[in-house]
Amino acid sequence: MPGAVRIFQLAKKLGLRSEALMQVLGELGVSDVSAASSIDPETAKAAAELISEQALDARKQREAREEAEKQVAAEAAKVTEAPAAPAQTAAAEEVAAPTEQVVEAEEAEEAEEVETEEEEVFIDAPPWAAPESLRSLEEQLAELEDEEEAEEEVATALPDVARRASGERPEHAVDVPPVVAVLGHVDHGKTTLLDAIRDTDVVSSESGGITQHIGASEVSAGGRSIVFIDTPGHEAFTAMRARGGQVADIVVLVIAADDGIMPQTVEAIGHARAADVPIIVALNKTDLPGANVEQVKQQLLGHNLVAEDWGGDTIVVPVSALQKENLQELLDMILLVAEIQELWADPEAELAAVVVEAGMDESRGPVATVLVRHGQIQVGDVVVCGTSQGRVRGLNDWRGNSLKQMGPGHPVEVVGLSKVPLAGDIMVRAESMKQAREITQKQAVAERSVEMAGTARVSLRDLYRELGELKVKDLNLVLKADVSGSAQALEQSLMELDTQLEEVEINIVHSGLGDVTESDVLLAVASDAIIVGFHVQVSPAAERIAEDEHVEIRTYDVIYEALDDIQAAMVGMLEPIYEEQTVGHAEVRQVFRISRVGVVAGCAIVQGRAERGARMIVRRRDEVVFEGTLSSLQHFENSVAKVEAPGECGIATPEFRGWEEGDRIEIIAQVEVPRNLTVQASQQTG
């Protein structure tokens, strides 16, 4: 059956169990089928539309129940607020009782709905799937893309539990060091500046001199501490820089005095303003000949950052990270701004810490660098972090020194989690391992619900592709990175790359941490995927299997190199586009009459080439005397496909015999047009 699809395959694409889909098919009159049975495209479309209609009806019913509950609650509130006269008490109780019944009924219905969703995965239909209008596929997909873009633009705010303490200060509160995020454009010297401040050497270990992880460190200046968060400058790490801005109390905006404000500088200003934190500008590389401090201050005016010496309130400190000049003044300014903010935390509060970075260590297992916001963390604590949980087996400061506990306001490395958390996850304490497991299980269910919602949104797109209405090629990828922040940044960059072409779709089959293993290769074999590794190694066993199974493994140390290669792969998958172009010109020098061949024009190729099968236009004294196909092309006694200038050849066609010396021939052929894809990320260099 052409275009047929099996029921279990369709159910998978729609996010349903096969039994649930067969029940829907039964309502359409399709019976006596199994999960392995095939159905025609029209039936598949009808089933998808019916499922969307049922989901929409379910949502409308739930909204109606919620509205009814609100009305009942409002009536109850009115009765409660009124003076409770004896005659009114009974009436109030009568109103309150139904309210409790409604709440109990609603809770039962919600529990039933959750159970139904887990059993049959019937979830609310997205707005674009509304069946009543049966809009065109193009309209539905256009709205789907608009929704996806809108979701990507919504920044995730730091949860309240992990935000800086405010309000009345308790007696047992303690002063905490400011958290400083160092932001700026690639290669403007952020890490070099931190190296000079910390007297370490991080930049030499970074690939291409570009920082590609978030690191938290703590330094002492003037008897007080400052916590620095080093954020990557390459634009692929936008999300990582955004997280740095969210936890920061102060942003140090590093601008190269010889380069000025660049695109990522503007982006960093936006992150700082979104986080509502003060900005201190560090004008770096002032020792270079091309440095122009005043010009950069002029550029800052265009972004409403007015230097203090120009009458504004933005602190601008000229520095040289390489020469270690004026670093103390920069630290003094940071401490001055922090003093104005009066930063404090409650060490007796419940633990709340933000994951700054996380990864997998071969010997210690999952490791997370967290910034303690409230309370204290100590060895032996049972903690929950996103969908990860565990008992803290070890704590280390940013230099690797072992600790027993860490109070609020400081970064610390945590060992003992069940799996690698995501950068930005919030770590809290649990009473027991049992409670921790229960919390993470609920969190996992919630995340699965979000994933299923996303699956439902794209299921119609996948269905139409399965039925052949969308001609899209898949580029399947298995991603492996050393730390979660890098994996997230790479995924985000690939999804942005995915939006550039409608003909090729990037599918991230799996994204994980650690070296490329045998299981990764086997997954790539099953899904026909390419393995992309970032700052990871490939195990010998994985290499052997990849060679036997012809699986391509590509590893990178710099992210834009990975993006450039994937971009090239996408372009290579595009269907070629051809257009007619003039590829050569010839001139008839002599006319021959040959038996069994006919009239042959002896020609000289004066420009380009002549091709057999090409279209040709014959002109005589600016008048077109023939237009047709170049059927025969001879070079001496040999029949050839192509003759280049300045060669000679014989041209003939049964359609035209009236050749004359001096005729000019224009050769026109189908030429493949190069397909290009311009991606902003790939244009950046380190």
Residue with tokens 């309150």: 96
Measure the CA–CA gap between 647 and 613, rounded to whole angstroms: 18
What are phi and psi for residue 632, nearest 5 degrees?
-130, 135
pLDDT computed for residue 36 by the predictor: 61
**H-helix or E-strand spanning residue 504:** strand 504-513
Do 355 and 414 meet the contact criterion of CB atoms below 8 Å apart?
Answer: no
Instruction: Please state, in angstroms and rounded to a whole number, the distance separating the CA atoms of residues 218 and 663.
Output: 83
- Give the number of other CB atoms < 10 A from CB of residue 83: 5
State residue 297's pLDDT score: 92
For residue 195, what is the DSSP state? H
Instruction: Please give the pLDDT value at position 680.
Output: 40
Q: Are 408 and 346 in contact (CB under 8 A)?
A: yes
CA distance linking residue 45 with residue 4, whole number of Å: 11
d(CA 423, CA 354): 8
pLDDT along the chain (686 residues), means of 10: 67 69 82 72 81 75 77 66 45 41 45 40 36 43 48 49 79 90 83 81 53 68 84 53 71 91 83 82 91 92 89 91 90 89 89 88 87 93 92 90 92 92 87 90 74 50 54 82 82 79 79 85 83 91 87 87 83 79 94 83 94 94 92 89 93 92 94 64 35
| CA 645 vs CA 388, 558, 580, 583, 664: distances in Å | 70, 45, 20, 11, 14
Q: How far is CA 141 from the centre of its chain?
A: 20
Report phi then psi at 224, rounded to 5.
-125, 160
Q: Could you tell me the pTM of the whole model? A: 0.52
Q: What is the DSSP string of 72-124?
A: HHHHHHHHHHS---HHHHHHHHHHHHHHHHHHHHHHHHHHHHHHHHHHH---P
What's the CA angle centered on 68, arms 66 and 74, to 5 degrees? 100
Residues forming a β-bridge with 610: 643
CB 254 within 8 A of CB 186: no
Length of the chain: 686
**DSSP state letter for 1:** -
